[in-house]
Amino acid sequence: MKDLINIKYWIFDLDNTLYSGQTQVFSEVDKKMSAFISKKMNVDLVKAKEIQKKYFYEYGTTLSGLMKQDGIDPHDFLEFVHDIDISWLPKDIKLREELIKIKEKKIIFTNGSHSHVENVTKQLGIDGLFDGAFDIVDANFTPKPHLEPYEKLIKKFDIDPNQSILIEDIAHNLEQAKNLGMKTCWLENEEAFAKKDSDKSYIDYKIKDLPSFLQEINILKSK
Residues 57 and 153 in one domain: no
Give the span between the Cα atoms of 79 and 211, in whole angstroms: 30
Residue 115 is predicted with a pLDDT of 96
Residue 17 is predicted with a pLDDT of 97
Residues 103 and 202 in one domain: yes
Q: Domain with 52 in it: what CATH number?
A: 1.10.150
To 10 degrees, what angle do helices 62-70 and 25-41 make?
10
Residue 154: other Cβ atoms inside 10 A:
20
107 and 131 in contact (C-beta within 8 Å)?
yes
Residue 2 is predicted with a pLDDT of 87
Residues 124 and 205 in one domain: yes
Average pLDDT of span 98-111: 98
207 and 187 in contact (C-beta within 8 Å)?
yes
* 3-state secondary structure (DSSP) of residue 167: strand
Average pLDDT of span 178-205: 96
Banded model confidence at residue 50, pLDDT cuts 50, 70, 90? very high
Residues 114 and 208 in one domain: yes
Looking at the predicted structure, is the pLDDT value of residue 216 above 90? yes
Q: Which domain holds residue 173?
A: 2-19+89-222
Residues 71 and 146 in one domain: no
Query: Which residues does 200 contact at the CB level (< 8 Å), separation at least 6?
Result: 171, 172, 175
Banded model confidence at residue 1, pLDDT cuts 50, 70, 90? confident
Banded model confidence at residue 24, pLDDT cuts 50, 70, 90? confident
Overall number of domains in the chain: 2
